[in-house]
Amino acid sequence: MRAVTWHGRADVRVDTVPDPTIQDPTDVVVEITSSGICGSDLHLIEVMAPFMTVGDVMGHEPMGVVREVGRDVTAVKPGDRVVVPFNISCGTCWMCSQGLQSQCETTQNREQGFGASLFGYTKLYGQVPGGQAEYLRVPFGNTLPITVPEGLPDDRFVYLSDVLPTAWQAVQYAATPPGGTLLVLGLGPIGDMCTRIAHHLGIERVYASDVVPERIARATARGTDVIRSTDQDEVVGAIRDATDGRGPDAVIDAVGMEAHGSPLASIAQKASALIPDAIMAPVMKVAGVDRMAALNTAIEAVRRGGTISLSGVYGGATDPMPLSRMFDKQIQLRMGQANVWRWVPDILPILTEGDPLGVDDFATHHVPLEQAPQAYADFREKKDGAVKVLLKP
């Protein structure tokens, strides 16, 4: 089959790789019909490159049609339409029963000290072949795939794999009180969807910050007040002015480790690109290489006693978070990979009854799998209006 494969920094290709097969009696094989490119994929072709191997199949936002099932699979059958969550979770362990699927005890990567395996991700998360491909092997066929109805386009459901539960969890973790104010940093697909969900859930005052014109336009069109800057002083100043000098009740960081405005860490990340991966991988596990600009803005902006909800991914281990400042401001910090299945029962009914979140025209680009390298480049450089790209294998 054809698949998007990792070859190095800023280098993905479409290669022919072996077709996936049923290996365990509860496996299913899904023929992929739509597969998103995510901001997290960009980390793999930059900061997280030391944890990748040439030939790794990328992608963790797929949906498609079940083509083959193992002998113990009863929940789905060939022909069923399914979305595949980005966390590989068993659905039956203690963590899964707590709604903490990203910590699944069956797929936790204990030797690496990391949580549940993820599709199309690094060695830290199991190095499992991903879904930017014609076919995908999906384990836990009775509990992992999300069955979705026929009759509506893929775009209606595909974001159940990641964008929707990630943004939903970010808004829930932010816990904006009634009548309160939420600030979302970053208007990529995750930040944009956070603002949509916040409006849908009735949060009264939703602000965001970014500098990319088409991303700003999408958010303003849906009623979000956008601060057109990513400069910490400007963003903090503007949001304080809007909140009686106090700051917002909650801030979502939907940016992560590749923030604008962290020149030193940016140099460190580029320098790490020149050091062989065998040396760099252990260093990254103990040292800090993140660009902390967005997180620092969140800490400064949030009101005293407020909540920061971190959905942007940070990769290094000992970045100097301003802990004393966080302690002094009495900030609550909540974060983590999204627990996809935890939120599916809340989100799926919203998708089948209509389109209040605007998912039908959320994607800016639908491109054939073969054009993935160009699509990655455009998304990374924020060129050609690329906000959300769906690959069509």
**Minimum distance from residue 36 beta carbon to ligand NAD (Å):** 9
| Dist CA 211 CA 230 (whole Å) | 7
Closer residue to Zn ion (CB): 48 or 236: 48
90 binds, among ligand NAD, Zn ion, none (CB under 5 to 8 A by kind): Zn ion
Q: Which residues would be at the binding site for ligand NAD (CB under 6 A)?
A: 38-40, 42-43, 162, 166, 185-191, 209-212, 215, 230, 254-256, 259-261, 293-294, 297, 311-313, 337-338
Smallest gap from residue 388 Cβ to ligand NAD (A): 8
Cα–Cα dist 191/97, whole Å: 28
Question: Which of positions 38-57 make contact with Zn ion (CB under 5 A)?
Answer: 38, 40
Minimum CB distance to ligand NAD, residue 1 (Å): 25
Among residues 7, 9, 106, 335, which is the contact residue for Zn ion, using CB under 5 A?
106
| DSSP assignments along 281-324, one per residue | HHHHHHS---B-HHHHHHHHHSPTT-EEEE-S----S-----HH
45 or 69: CB nearest ligand NAD = 45
Residue 120: which of Zn ion, ligand NAD, none does it interact with, CB under 5 to 8 A by kind?
none
Q: Is the Cβ–Cβ distance between 90 and 96 less than 8 Å?
A: yes
Query: Length of the chain in residues, anyone?
Result: 393
Task: Identify which of residues 99 and 282 has a Cβ nearer to Zn ion in the complex.
Answer: 99
Task: Return the residues of window 20-39 that contact Zn ion according to CB under 5 A.
Answer: 38
CB of 298: closest distance to ligand NAD in angstroms? 9
The answer to whether residue 162 forms part of the interface with Zn ion (CB under 5 A) is: yes
Secondary structure (DSSP) of 336-369: -S--HHHHHHHHHHHHHH--TT--TTT-SEEEEG
Q: 28 or 197, CB closer to ligand NAD?
A: 197
Strand 81-83 to strand 62-69: parallel, antiparallel, or no bridges (unpaired)? antiparallel
CB atoms within 10 A of CB 21: 10
Contact 353/15 with Cβ under 8 angstroms? no
Residues that bind Zn ion (CB under 5 A): 38, 40, 89-90, 93, 96, 104, 106, 162
